[in-house]
Amino acid sequence: MNVEITPSTVSGRAKAPPSKSYTHRAVLAAGYADGALVHDPLDSADIRATRRAVEAFGGDVTETDGTLDVVGFDGRPEVPDDVIDCGNSGTTTRLVTATAALADGITVLTGDASLRSRPHGPLLDAIGQLGGSARSTRGNGQAPLVIEGPVSGGTVSIPGDVSSQFISALLFAGAVTDEGIDIELETELKSSPYVDITTELMAAYGVDAERTDTGFSVAGGQSYAPAGGEYSVPGDFSSMSYLLAMGAVAGEDAVEVQGAQPSAQGDSAIVGILEDMGAAIDWDQDGGVITVERSDLAGTTVDVGDTPDLLPTIATLGAIADGDTRIENCEHVRYKETDRVSAMAEELGKMGAAVTEEHDVLTIHGGETDLSGATVDGCDDHRIIMSLAVAGLVADGQTTVTGAEHVDVSFPDFFDVLAGLGGGVQQV
């Protein structure tokens, strides 16, 4: 599916979709438990992959009126009857790789072409350190992955600058091992707020994990059980970033975004980034509402070491702002659904943006940029697609974004929401 975006203004009220990061973790934690009701979950392709994995390990997930009723495997995953297809979901793959290491037998994980290009080597090595067997069928650290357990816990040494999801996976699984798991970080942890999300959610399920001087530690012999057997998913700040960006660049009147309750999500940094760029933005944290209006934006410098998913949004804002926007510490953003650093440089370039791409820095020269409509490649990446759609609202002429159906990964009704705010969007 392709979409055409025409220059237009937006205004009105929209609700952020539920958090993808929290939904993944809430469903998996319910799987580790006897079970739980997960309220307000995101329904997307990635989340369905995690649901399939929980069922493959012996659980069951039923949806009724927007609530997931999860029957768990109580910390003792079964050996799956078949290969687990994780689709395009790297989060699913990494989190359940550690789950697979608890099973007394062999689990095989795979996914689509994009997922099979992403790195998992450090997590596979960590499982080996715990006494399990974990390998890539092609010997390159990429899926398909073959995992054999069970592991009973121990100490692992792992780099922190490849994916924070490796750390989250080990913490989730470590709580139900006999010995627990101590994680020693070999390098600085990137995307650390995502581990904060993990430990916050584990605490909501009654499980303790903690930071140490050298990394993280989780005691074994714990049980997952949320208070009252229920958990409610908060709104997603990664997805919210596109709505806020729309308001800042094309808001004829205020755009009001609901569902913005404070949480451990690092991507709530988008509010401060927009403030730094000069946006008229206000966050009522008690009410969970953010309002933003079209403003004259100025370039800024942003370190995305902890907020990699914001890079496409910031790049688009930089192309519209006056002056340079410098996005630093972004090497790890190259290992997502696509190389998002190069993808944003190339696709914004097609629209007339002046961009300088370095290995760990992306600079958008807004003062040298006049965006024009063009046909741009969404790169089968939901975040690239939504960011380019925002750019299309203010480009001169029509913008066509290809592969737009991939917003299903995190924000399935994105284009309906955009149209509801008055944006000119048409499926072609």
DSSP symbol at 108: E
Q: Is 137 helix (H, G, I), strand (E, B) or coil?
A: coil
Alpha-carbon Rg for the chain in angstroms: 21
How confident is the model at residue 213, as a pLDDT?
97
Cβ-based neighbours of 367, under 8 Å, separated by 6 or more: 299, 322, 323, 324
Q: 309 a known binding residue?
A: yes
Is residue 211 part of an annotated ligand binding site?
A: no
- CB contact at 8 A, 46 and 88: yes
pLDDT of residue 329: 97
- DSSP element (H, E) containing 36: strand 35-39
* Six token digits for residue 277: 């760029």
Tell me whether residue 43 is annotated as binding.
no
21 assigned to a ligand binding site: yes
Joined tokens for residue 415: 């284009």
| In the chain, ranges of CATH 3.65.10.10 domains | 3-17+235-427, 20-222
* Closest C-alpha among 339, 375, 382 to residue 359: 339
Q: What is 3-17+235-427's CATH topology?
A: UDP-n-acetylglucosamine1-carboxyvinyl-transferase; Chain (3.65.10)
H-run or E-run covering 192:
helix 192-204
In this predicted structure, what is the pLDDT of residue 120? 97
228 among annotated binding-site residues: no
Per-residue pLDDT at 80: 98
Which of 46, 196, 236, 309 is the catalytic position?
309
* Residues 165 and 93 sit within 8 Å (Cβ to Cβ): no
Q: Is 118 part of any known ligand binding site?
A: yes
SS (H, E, C) 122-170: HHHHHHHHCCCEEEECCCCCCCCEEEECCCCCEEEEECCCCCHHHHHHH
**Residue with tokens 């917003």, as numbered in its chain:** 407
**Total-model pTM:** 0.85
Q: Are 79 and 115 in contact (CB under 8 A)?
A: no
Decide if 380 is catalytic: no
* Residue spans of alpha helices (H) in 231-304: 237-250, 269-276
Distance CA 340, CA 309 (A): 9
- Tokens standing for residue 329: 């510490």
pLDDT of residue 64: 94
The confidence score (pLDDT) of residue 391 equals: 98
* Closest listed residue to residue 238, CA positions, set 286, 271, 282: 271
Distance CA 383, CA 24 (A): 17
Of the candidates 55, 95, 94, 76, the residue with the CA atom closest to the CA atom of residue 177: 76
Q: What's the burial of 293, exposed, middle or buried (CB within 10 Å: 0-12/13-18/19+)?
A: middle
Q: Which CATH code is given to the segment(s) 20-222?
A: 3.65.10.10
> Mean pLDDT, consecutive 10-residue segments, the chain of 428 residues?
98 94 97 97 95 98 96 98 97 98 98 95 98 98 98 98 96 98 96 96 98 98 98 95 98 95 94 98 97 97 96 98 98 93 98 97 97 98 98 98 95 96 96
Alpha-carbon 252 to chain mean position: 30
Query: What's the confidence (pLDDT) of residue 245?
Result: 98
